[in-house]
Amino acid sequence: KIAENDQFFAFLDIFPLVEGHVLVVPKTEVDKLFDVPDEFLAEWLVFAKPIAHAIEKAFDCKRCGISVIGLEVPHAHMHLLPIHSSNDLNFTRPKLKCSGEELKAAQQKILAKLVNDQPEAHTMDRFQHDPRIGFEMFAEFGNENIHAAAQEIIVFSPYMQ
């Protein structure tokens, strides 16, 4: 886990495009970005902002890019990635195969740079011990399809063995 509050949580993508690829997810069950309740849209970006700044400080990049595609799972979420060019946001590129140790290292880099705007981002709990567990949190707040997809990814992921 990178951060969490009552409405959102952020965690590393277990199949990142680049090191430091973070998913930011509303806890409200909604499929599409533009179906997210109006009062959550601004708060979602405010929640993501310190994470984006931390990503920019933690990784060699020109900026933190943001992408909302919404085809992977039927639950609204945004991707935050350290980027050098717009091509770094090309989701047709092959994903990285990171070990649990590599994911943990990326998580620690981000947490070390995360400003104290979100005190809950620094709490030590079971999710900080294994950053791959974040995807299970994603499934926990989604519908049955999301939960099934998350379980498939977790069960068949080479990183979970």
Whether pLDDT at 125 is above 70: no
Chain mean pLDDT for the chain: 78
Q: Rounded distance, CA 158 to CA 98, Å? A: 9
pTM: 0.72
Q: How far is CA 17 from the centre of its chain?
A: 12
Per-residue pLDDT tens over the stretch 59-86:
999 999 999 987 888 899 999 999 999 9
Q: Rounded distance, CA 47 to CA 122, Å? A: 14
Sign of the dihedral defined by the CA atoms of residues 59, 139, 33, 47, in that order: negative
C-alpha dihedral (74, 10, 120, 63), degrees to nearest 10: -140
